[in-house]
């Protein structure tokens, strides 16, 4: 059986443990740069996946992540940050992690070999045609993750597979395969390094571009953020001032009236009542740019 590319041994690092710390760090740093650079050839495939995913999620579908070990934890981290950053609803997030929640903080390496558990997890999650599943595996051969993609695709969900090894089962199983060839690691098989970095950057790009496509970013700002602490409340006031030219007092009052939500607050500053602002946003799928354009047309 051919080993995945991520399991290869590089002759360059044969004496790694004998190097001085500065030399070691230089080599590891170069590997991290190479991991990010490896994403460039994958950008067209990522763009296609984002377009397809946005179409599903506009139908009120859910965004799901599947993985084991490092890859699974990277997926959970990406998804968990979508709420505070973009106000993505928690009930529209699904996490399929080999070994369950306990595996987030304690390795459950035997669980990744259980494709049968993957089938059961997908069944329990009730993934369907409006949903999007992103599966991650450095080797591209992890049975649990492959099983999740196969079951989700059979159920009609859109499937995106991110792997660091070519010609792998995960890429074959995914409707949108994303190959990021990072090659052998400095420490053979330690895919928390280059492969993990590439996966994290890929998800940063994927989810940020996806949320932008869904109208959760306006003029380069996080207009759907949840202002749950003083720092974020100050940011929301400043954001509203920048977007509307309102005074601090007017911006703060509009945000209070809008329950801390920037999008309706922008329209309130523009002269709408809260109910009118909410109705206009709903009419345009929550897209503030389109709502403002419609308001401008009216006036």
Active site residues: 81, 112
Q: Element (H or E) spanning 209, and its range? A: helix 194-213
Nearest to 82 by CA among 99, 62, 103, 56: 62
CB 86 within 8 A of CB 105: no
> Is the Cα torsion angle 209, 85, 180, 116 positive or negative in sign?
negative
For residue 87, give every residue at least 6 positions away whose Cβ sits within 8 Å of its Cβ, in sequence order, or none.
216, 224, 225, 226
Nearest to 82 by CA among 92, 72, 73, 71: 92
What's the number of CA atoms in the CB half-sphere (13 Å) around residue 32? 11
- Cα–Cα distance for residue pair 79/93, rounded to 1 Å: 7
Token pair belonging to 248: 């601090």
Other Cβ atoms within 10 Å of 92 Cβ, number: 16
For residue 142, give every residue at least 6 positions away whose Cβ sits within 8 Å of its Cβ, in sequence order, or none.
67, 68, 71, 98, 112, 170
- Cα–Cα distance for residue pair 31/191, rounded to 1 Å: 12
- Cα–Cα distance for residue pair 36/11, rounded to 1 Å: 22
């Amino acid at each position: 059986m051919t080993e995945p590319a991520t399991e290869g041994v590089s002759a360059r690092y044969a004496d790694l443990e004998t190097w001085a710390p500065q030399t070691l760090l230089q080599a590891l740093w170069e590997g991290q740069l190479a991991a990010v650079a490896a994403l460039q050839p994958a950008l067209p495939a990522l763009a296609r996946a984002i377009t397809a995913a946005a179409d599903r999620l506009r139908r009120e579908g859910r965004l799901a992540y599947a993985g084991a070990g490092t890859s699974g934890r990277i997926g959970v981290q990406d998804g968990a940050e979508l709420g505070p950053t973009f106000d993505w609803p928690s009930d529209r997030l699904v996490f399929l992690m080999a070994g369950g929640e306990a595996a987030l903080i304690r390795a459950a390496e035997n669980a990744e070999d259980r494709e049968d558990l993957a089938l059961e997890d997908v069944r329990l999650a009730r993934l369907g045609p409006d949903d999007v599943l992103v599966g991650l595996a450095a080797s591209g051969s992890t049975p649990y993750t492959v099983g999740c993609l196969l079951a989700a695709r059979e159920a009609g969900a859109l499937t995106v597979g991110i792997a660091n090894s070519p010609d792998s089962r995960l890429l074959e199983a995914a409707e949108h395969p994303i190959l990021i060839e990072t090659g052998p690691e400095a420490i053979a098989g330690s895919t928390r390094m280059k492969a993990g970095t590439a996966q994290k950057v890929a998800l940063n790009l994927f989810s940020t571009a996806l949320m932008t496509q869904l109208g959760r970013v306006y003029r380069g700002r996080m207009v759907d953020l949840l202002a749950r602490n003083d720092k974020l409340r100050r940011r929301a006031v400043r954001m509203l001032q920048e977007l509307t030219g309102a005074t601090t007092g007017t911006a703060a009052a509009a945000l209070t009236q809008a329950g801390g939500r920037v999008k309706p607050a922008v329209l309130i500053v523009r002269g709408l009542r809260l109910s009118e602002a909410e109705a206009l946003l709903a009419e345009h799928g929550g897209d503030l740019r389109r709502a403002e354009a419609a308001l401008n047309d009216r006036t």
